[in-house]
Amino acid sequence: MLRPEASVKNVWPFFFCLSVELILMRLLTLLLFLSLLNDSITMAAEHRLYIGTYTRGDSASDGIYTCVFDDASGVLSKPELAAVSDNPSFLAVHPTKDLVFACNESNDFGNAPTGAASAFRVDRPSGQLTLINQQPAGGGATCHCVVDRTGRFLLVANYLGGNVAVLPINDDGSLSERSCLINHIGSGPNKDRQEKPHAHSVNLSSDNRFAWVADLGIDRIMIYRFDPQNGLLAPSAADSVAVNPGGGPRHFSLHPSGKFAYANNELTSEVTAFSVDGTTGALSTIHRVSTLPPEFEGRRSTAECLVHPSGKFVYVSNRGHDSIAVYQVNADSGRLTPVEIEKTNGQEPRNFVIDPSGRWLLAENQNSDNVTVFAIAPNNGALAPTNHRIDVPRPVCIRILPPGP
């Protein structure tokens, strides 16, 4: 039998250790809570959006619109006119400066048979855009543009011109005269749409070494080496890849790994998967998949193709069927497996965007004058409609402004 003083002496370290352990557990719990709270604050963000539109024809708009997207709730603010501009269909944002560039999709800029590119300065508090200057794009119906990784050049595709051009970006954000213009040659079997070249998009590799130009008119994706010092394009060792005859490649999206790429064929409503040679930029066809239900017999016309930021999913919009086709990506082979075809709750879906969190897809419906929001399922990329939408006249393209410095 222990003496009382001995009992207390032996038991006290036990309670002391228990108290320390309890305190440490509570501290760890608090730290975990603060970490989760910080993550939720970091994940939740508001993003400034810019929407390019058509200003000519029926139900015409006035130019470029802006709104704010809350990625915690999926809610879009009421859009406001950011800048008056002529047919500013497709947009591009500068990677580091408060600049937005627009393709003026016309064929009469400066009383010449050409479209134009416009440079705008961004006012972050209001979202308003101030025109800096414009330059002729070197071909009619300027329909797509991208800023290179250095932020020193704007590359544009001219649909009616059947060519691709490079315009230097000056330190003040203005555009200089073209540093490069390359004309395509050829035609395709669809006499109504492929009577001559129709360059429809231009995209750059993540290392800024290659440019891929999808040309609907000649059933080819042209492959160029890009010189980011002088703003020049030159044919790569493998200068192009052909898609199926009459397919009409329109847009192009590179997988985050750089190993695969995907292009939607506008005229046949298919998406083609490619493997990418990182040394030459060459593309090799893996397979192609329909973007429509097998029983569909209406108009076939795809518009946009986009890889999810995670690289796990690919999305393609269907005009006519008014939907977005969803696919899962095999990480090893790049092959696509269809998941679903989801209606966009509007007419004539065009470009769409996935927010930086990867949780939301915002689709533009040109002929119903709206932008609709979908939640993205993280397991398979499926789209769940929400009741979030805004009304914008004739929307064509939507871009997210990067966070400020």
**Alpha-carbon distance 112 to 359, whole Å?**
44
User: Tell me, what's the pLDDT at 43?
Assistant: 53
Is residue 39 over pLDDT 70?
Answer: no
Strands 129-136 and 142-147, bridge-based pairing: unpaired
| Structure-token pair, residue 293 | 């239900």
DSSP 339-392: EEEEE-SSSSEEEEEE-TTSSEEEEEETTTTEEEEEEEPTTT--EEEEEEEEE-
* Arithmetic mean of pLDDT, 266-275: 98
Is residue 170 over pLDDT 50?
Answer: yes
User: Tell me, what's the pLDDT at 27?
Assistant: 46
Is residue 25 over pLDDT 70?
Answer: no
Q: How sure is the predictor about 44, in pLDDT bands with cuts at 50, 70 and 90?
A: low
Other CB atoms within 10 A of residue 36 CB: 10
**What are φ and ψ of residue 32, in 5° steps?**
-65, -40
pLDDT over 70, % of the chain: 89
pTM of this structure: 0.89
Is residue 226 over pLDDT 70?
Answer: yes
- Cite the DSSP H helix spans in 192-318: none
**Alpha-carbon distance 172 to 99, whole Å?**
10
User: Tell me, what's the pLDDT at 29?
Assistant: 37
**Alpha-carbon distance 133 to 118, whole Å?**
6
**Alpha-carbon distance 364 to 350, whole Å?**
6
| Structure-token pair, residue 189 | 């079997």
pLDDT over 90, % of the chain: 87
Least confident of 43-57, 128-142, 212-226, 358-372: 43-57
Question: What does the buried/exposed string (b/e) look like for 384-400 if buried means 16 or more CB atoms within 10 Å of the residue's CB?
Answer: eeeebbbebbbbbbbbb
Q: How sure is the predictor about 57, in pLDDT bands with cuts at 50, 70 and 90?
A: confident
Q: How sure is the predictor about 404, in pLDDT bands with cuts at 50, 70 and 90?
A: confident
User: Tell me, what's the pLDDT at 293?
Assistant: 96
Residue 277's SS3 state is coil
User: Tell me, what's the pLDDT at 347?
Assistant: 97
Among 282, 182, 180, CA closest to 237: 282
pLDDT digit string (tens) for 70-111? Answer: 999 999 999 999 999 999 999 999 999 999 999 999 999 999
User: Tell me, what's the pLDDT at 8?
Assistant: 37
**Alpha-carbon distance 269 to 209, whole Å?**
30
Is residue 269 over pLDDT 50?
Answer: yes
**Alpha-carbon distance 400 to 48, whole Å?**
6
pLDDT digit string (tens) for 298-318? Answer: 999 999 999 999 999 999 999
Which amino acid, 373?
V
* Arithmetic mean of pLDDT, 169-196: 98
